[in-house]
Amino acid sequence: MSSGDLEPIILDFSRFYILIILYEGPCHGYSILSKFKRRVGKDISPSLVYPFLKQLEEKGLVKHSIRIVGNKRKKIFELTDEGREFCKRLFRRFSALVSATIEPNLTVCANCGCKIYEGGYREVINGKEMVFCCIHCAESYKRETEGI
Ligand SMILES: [Zn+2]
């Protein structure tokens, strides 16, 4: 199972931010909506949040449990170990992207996001030249994006 194919849809601020909220700890759907609103200053539609949570769950990145609060059943969502790893990689890549924008002469590894001051390992993947800090990062990047 691969989480690589999830990345294109996460190039979307709202979904990216939902992952940040989940990364902070377990929460129920409603608290995702209210945290998002409080921090981003914008409403997020439940019709975006719930299908996204379901999709993450199908990928094995999120799991839920039922907690009884008073006489209400609440669904608590949390990241699985795999989901936490996925987020860590995503955040590292995102910060690499940001530092590459701020420091345009700097190259960062497309896999782990570390800074490459000289050399590095280059490989053409899907017709695009990618730069990695080492061959191992190139291998793990390919494994992930090819979904093996
Ligand atoms: Zn690397």
CA of 146 to the centre of ligand 1 (A): 17
pLDDT tens by residue, 37-53: 999 898 999 999 999 99
CA of 97 to the centre of ligand 1 (A): 14
Answer yes or no: do 11 and 79 share one domain. yes
Containing domain of residue 118, as a range?
105-148
Indicate the pairing of strand 107-108 with strand 121-125. Answer: unpaired
Q: Is the pTM of this model over 0.95?
A: no
CA of 112 to the centre of ligand 1 (A): 4
Answer yes or no: do 113 and 58 share one domain. no
Tell me the C-alpha to C-alpha distance, in Å, between residue 76 and each of 16, 41, 53, 134.
19, 23, 11, 40
pLDDT tens by residue, 58-89: 999 999 999 888 888 889 999 999 999 999 98
For position 53, which CATH number holds? 1.10.10.10
Please state the length of the chain. Answer: 148
**Total count of domains within the chain:** 2
Mean pLDDT along residues 85-96: 87
